Chain A
Amino acid sequence: MSEKKPAWWLRLITILIYAYIYIPIILLIIFSFNSQKLNVRWEGFTLHWYRVLFQDGEVMHATRNTLVVAFISTIVATVIGTMAALALQRYRFPGYTAAESTLYIPVIIPEVVMGIALLVFFVQVRLTLGLTTIILSHIAFSIPFVTLVVRARLHGFDKSIEEAAMDLGANEITTFLRVTLPTIMPGVLAGAMLAFTLSLDDYVITYFTAGPGSTTLPLRIFSMVRFAVTPEVNALSTLWVLTVFVLLLISQIIQRRQAQ
């Protein structure tokens, strides 16, 4: 579809929907600078809540945990998931359909079921709940998403350039490193970014697989907002939204460059 001017009323509805999407977030940001604690009405500009945030030992600890989990699980899931994408897109092997369906399991089962399944499993094999169990779980739910994204990018890949490289005497490892990998790199990066975001965002599975001392940011925010509204959470949320905005902007610019 495209370029026939949409009717004015459709335009109006769209503006209203974007207002609905953005007003809560904009209010969240505005009230992170409010000097009044109850944050009902605007009292005056302050950076006090940001200071409180950076002096909050538990939040800082949770931030460190979140980043450790996200980095490790993203790296492992990206490597394993990319291998699976290459296998599914370019090879036929016994058990192909079964492999493909296995990859869909984490995508279609409700998160709470996956969470309790992992909890039962870790208790059964006597692994102490903590950062390790969180990382192991995050890898599991990230692999399929990496595979989906990388597979989508592999779709138009021309196999003949690899064959050309091999005919010119490159061995398989050189061909992979010098030809295949650079070509699929945008897909791999997109998959890694999705895995990273899923890990940062995850509450449910982390909730079931975390132990004492391994609280992540989503868990920390949850316990902060459960009983009270505090501008410290607004400050934290503002930083989070801005970080996501900048990261997304960068990835869009990179994609646009590549498209040109």
Chain B
Amino acid sequence: MRQDPRAQGLTLISPTLFYLGVFMLFPLLLVVALSFMTRGPYGNVVYRINLDNYARLIDPLYLRILLYSLRVAFATTVFTIVIGFPLAYYIARVPVRQRNLLLFLILVPFWTNFIIRIYAWIMILRTEGLLNTLLLNLGIIQVPLDILYSPTAVLIGMVYEFLPFMVLPLYTSLEKIEMAQLEAAADLGAPPWRAFLRITLPLSVPGMIAGSILVFIPAMGMFVVPDLMGGAKTVLVGNLIRNQFLTARDWPFGAAASMLLLTLTLVVTLVYTRRAGFGEELLV
């Protein structure tokens, strides 16, 4: 009576493969093809295969945008580690009941819309905003600070957006560390800081790597935070791609820039994952 399990497995997986094939793989292949074509005079696409779009990307103007995006994404990752590590460490060390509450409190803002989170910071940082009003009234500053619409504002927004992506995987790997290992280190005469450096920190590396991937990739392609908090001054790769598709209407060039971004993120992911085996940390 029972069917062949291989046929059953294929039946169950086929809707997913069909769907992702049509709405994910095929569109991506279209972008690859598009990146080798040319923009026509009216923003249309001319089917003439060439490498011009890629050659244009080497222009210093675009290389600067790329380097700047890398720097912002890297800085965001570093700051989320610096803020996220003590937090994850603390959560992993309190009793289970408190732990669930603390994790819950991290999830609430995370599950709230991300444009709302950016808006909260705009309210605080703008020239007539809450921070300036407070500092002026306290007499700490005489002239309002111009934080909003600056690279600093972009960084503040990005770190706030992506912090949970770092905390959750870090927590997962810190939580697994056995107390017995740290006690053994103490029994053998290691001071707490050495036990931390030699045991806790190395064992948290898989979580840190997973968190870095989860933060770095979306940070590289982000254009909403620079749009709302960076003003016209900050252009990241994400903004460049968006502009080519929707304002400049040079789709082939936008497609080439997308391929560059995609390649970069894939390389970063591969390098990171090869250097340390990890799996479940990415899946929390």
Bind each other: yes
Chain A interface SS verdict (over half): helix
Given the contacts A118-B27, A222-B224, A143 and B19 also touching, CB distance less than 8 Å: yes
Chain B residues near A229 (CB-CB < 8 A) = 119, 122-123, 126
- Is residue B60 contacting chain A, with contact meaning CB distance below 8 A? no
Within 8 Å by CB of B265, from A13, A103, A109, lies A109
Measured as residues with beta carbon below 8 angstroms from the partner, the interface class of chain B is 35 or more
- Is residue B105 contacting chain A, with contact meaning CB distance below 8 A? yes
Which residues of B (231-272) have their CB < 8 Å from a CB of A? 238, 241-242, 245, 251, 254-255, 258, 261-262, 265-266, 269
Could you tell me the distance in whole angstroms from the C-beta of A91 to the nearest C-beta in chain B? 3
**A121-B26 in contact (CB<8A):** yes
- Is residue B135 contacting chain A, with contact meaning CB distance below 8 A? no
A10 CA / B192 CA spacing, docked (Å): 14
Within 8 Å by CB of B128, from A40, A92, A203, A218, lies A40
Among the stretches A43-51, A57-65, A134-142, the one at the interface with B is A134-142
**Across the A-B interface, how many residue pairs have beta carbons closer than 8 Å?**
269
**B108-A237 in contact (CB<8A):** no
Chain B residues near A129 (CB-CB < 8 A) = none
- Is residue A185 contacting chain B, with contact meaning CB distance below 8 A? no
- Is residue A189 contacting chain B, with contact meaning CB distance below 8 A? no
Interface 1/0 per residue, A86-118 and B, CB below 8 Å? 111011111110010011011011111110111
- Is residue B23 contacting chain A, with contact meaning CB distance below 8 A? yes
- Is residue B175 contacting chain A, with contact meaning CB distance below 8 A? yes
Chain B residues near A13 (CB-CB < 8 A) = 86-87, 90
Given the contacts A109-B265, A208-B245, A21 and B93 also touching, CB distance less than 8 Å: no
Interface size on A, residues (CB 8 A): 91
**B115-A222 in contact (CB<8A):** yes
A116 CA / B253 CA spacing, docked (Å): 12
**B25-A105 in contact (CB<8A):** yes
Could you tell me the distance in whole angstroms from the C-beta of A69 to the nearest C-beta in chain B? 14
Max chain B Cβ within 10 angstroms of own Cβ: one of A18, A110, A147, A201: A110
A140 CA / B16 CA spacing, docked (Å): 9
Chain B residues near A118 (CB-CB < 8 A) = 23, 27
Chain A residues near B119 (CB-CB < 8 A) = 28, 221, 225, 229, 233, 237
- Is residue B168 contacting chain A, with contact meaning CB distance below 8 A? no
Interface 1/0 per residue, B162-191 and A, CB below 8 Å? 010000000000111111001000000000
- Is residue A6 contacting chain B, with contact meaning CB distance below 8 A? yes
Interface 1/0 per residue, B93-123 and A, CB below 8 Å? 1111000100011111101111111111111
**B120-A27 in contact (CB<8A):** yes
Given the contacts A116-B241, A148-B283, A110 and B24 also touching, CB distance less than 8 Å: no
